Amino acid sequence: MSENREDGKKGSGEKKSFDLEIQEKESDRIREEGQITLDRNAVRKRIELLTIIGEVEGHENAPSQSKTTKYEHVLPKLAMIEDDSEVDGLLVILNTVGGDVEAGLAIAEMIASLSKPTVSLVLGGGHSIGVPMAVSADYSFIVPSATMVIHPVRSNGMFIGIAQTYRNMEKIQDRITGFISSHSRISQKRLEELMLDTSQLVKDVGTMLEGEQAVKEGIIDEIGGISQAMKKLYSMIGEFIRE
């Protein structure tokens, strides 16, 4: 009898140690990449959480003191989500100042092309290249206090002021506005009007939209927070499975 009790204690201790190891790995993922799996919900669905936080980092490293989202971490994660049959959906949470245009568009295109149901939630800010990433999900939410800044494409470093350079910047901007308009309810023409507004931003061109304004303009689908976003995702997963 004593041996059985000892075996039971040993088995319980091993389980606790294993659970602690899993928790530590999840904590490391959150710390390093802002990613975690949500799988303890009542409806027994496995949701992958992806956070787009701070500056979206592209081919060049951002300053070490900056909070960044590295696209070389995000793209493999999205490919894994698409390939993993046990993943039911993706929740994207954004609080970003923007960043590298090519990296941001790459992430947005990957999210938009996923076959799994996707929902985005804008908290704090979804500025600049964060706008395409916010609308890339199948359905989008924004909290009332969040803002989205829409402005023209900018260039870092040397800028040669010739016609070819200007046309190139126009093409990049068209790619961004075209993506946003095709994944939301706002027209490309209206987006360009907001981008070129000179009446809102001091020493800059563009428009800052608060949560309700972003919904009214047709960029974001609905006002809501984390509970609304999760409920919507569960509902979409249910419809996806029935299909």
Residue 7: CB atoms within 10 Å = 10
Contact yes or no for 195/152 (Cβ under 8 A): yes
Strand partners, 38: 47
Going by C-alpha positions, the residue among 93, 184, 169 that lies closest to residue 132 is 184
The pair of structure tokens assigned to 40 is 């303890």
Strand partners, 36: 49
Contact yes or no for 43/234 (Cβ under 8 A): yes
The pair of structure tokens assigned to 167 is 């046309």
Helices (H), the chain: 2-33, 71-83, 101-113, 130-135, 163-182, 188-195, 211-216, 226-242
The identity of residue 143, as a single letter, is V
Report how far residue 174's alpha carbon sits from residue 191's, in angstroms, rounded to the nearest whole number: 10
Is 127 in the active site? no
DSSP 11: H
Is 151 in the active site? yes
Catalytic residue selected from 120, 136, 151, 183: 151
The pair of structure tokens assigned to 43 is 């409806």
Catalytic residue selected from 120, 127, 128, 181: 128
Tokens 């996707």 correspond to what residue?
A: 118
User: Which residues are identified as catalytic?
Assistant: 128, 151
